[in-house]
């Protein structure tokens, strides 16, 4: 059973999503939130597997809520479901840790598949979003990462944890997280593995020695 938290400031959208999920035995809506602050609280209380996250909401927006929710242990998968696919929205959401980004014109079957794939840990992107991410990635230059950001990412490539990196660079774990958030935003990726893969492919960092 995949436990889903639905976050949207429009009740009709929340009701519609619940109606789509209700007939399926492997999906259940465990909670609803109309704003980001409530979403964070319910994610902590209800421990959903997947959070369907709107972006533009009053108060705490979707990207900010996503960052706080993905910091939970264990972190729910956050799947953005929004009307907007601007570069800025996509960048903020993916940098905050969203595993996927789909649009509200997605067919019912597509939404069900996206939730299940997100639960499995697979990246889910609307075609227009994927196209924009690819275009943005091709425009990233080595100079886009600072020297310290490259140091942090090189350590990530060796398998170092945030605590390991903090000790190696004599900074706090919070500072390490800030560096990683910036790296994710610049490389337009949503997690550490994708960041290392993208950086190695574009020769922003060198492959760490295995010997």
| Domains in the chain: boundaries | 2-136, 140-201
pLDDT digits (tens, 9 = 90+) for 95-149: 888 989 999 999 999 999 999 999 998 888 888 887 777 666 655 555 478 889 9
Query: What average pLDDT does range 181-196 have in this prediction?
Result: 85
pTM: 0.67
- For residues 68 and 51, what is the distance between their CA atoms, to the nearest angstrom? 12
Q: Is 203 helix (H, G, I), strand (E, B) or coil?
A: coil
Q: Is 151 helix (H, G, I), strand (E, B) or coil?
A: helix
Q: Which residue has the tokens 């190695």?
A: 200
pLDDT digits (tens, 9 = 90+) for 50-94: 999 999 999 999 999 999 999 898 899 999 999 998 888 888 888
Architecture, CATH, for domain 2-136 = 3-Layer(aba) Sandwich (3.40)
Residues 6+ apart with CB under 8 A from 38: 7
Question: The CATH number of 140-201 is which of 3.30.9.10, 3.40.50.920, 1.10.10.10, 3.30.70.2740?
Answer: 1.10.10.10
* DSSP-derived secondary structure for 39-101: HHHHHHHH--SEEEE-S--SSS-HHHHHHHHTTSSSPPEEEEEES---HHHHHHHHHTT-SEE
Within this chain, domains 2-136 and 140-201 share the same CATH topology? no
Query: What average pLDDT does range 147-165 have in this prediction?
Result: 91
For 11, 166, 199, 207, the CA distances from 150, given in Å and listed in that order, are: 44, 14, 9, 12
């Amino acid at each position: 059973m995949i436990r889903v938290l639905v976050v949207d400031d429009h009740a009709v959208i929340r009701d519609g999503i619940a109606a789509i999920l209700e007939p399926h035995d492997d999906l259940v809506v465990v909670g609803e939130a109309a704003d980001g602050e409530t979403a964070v609280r319910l994610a902590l209380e209800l421990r959903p597997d997947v959070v369907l996250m709107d972006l533009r909401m009053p108060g705490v927006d979707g990207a900010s809520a996503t960052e706080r929710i993905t910091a939970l242990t264990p972190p729910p998968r956050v799947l953005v479901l929004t009307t907007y696919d601007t570069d800025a929205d996509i960048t903020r959401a993916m940098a905050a840790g969203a595993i996927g980004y789909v649009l509200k014109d997605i067919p019912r079957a597509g939404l069900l598949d996206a939730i299940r794939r997100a639960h499995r840990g697979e990246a889910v992107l609307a075609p227009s979003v994927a196209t924009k991410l690819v275009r943005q990635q091709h425009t990233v230059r080595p100079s886009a990462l600072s020297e310290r950001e490259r140091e942090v990412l090189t350590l990530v490539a060796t398998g170092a944890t945030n605590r390991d990196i903090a000790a190696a660079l004599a900074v706090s774990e919070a500072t390490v997280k800030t560096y990683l958030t910036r790296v994710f935003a610049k490389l337009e990726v949503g997690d550490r593995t994708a960041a290392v893969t993208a950086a190695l492919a574009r020769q922003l960092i060198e492959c760490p020695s295995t010997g």
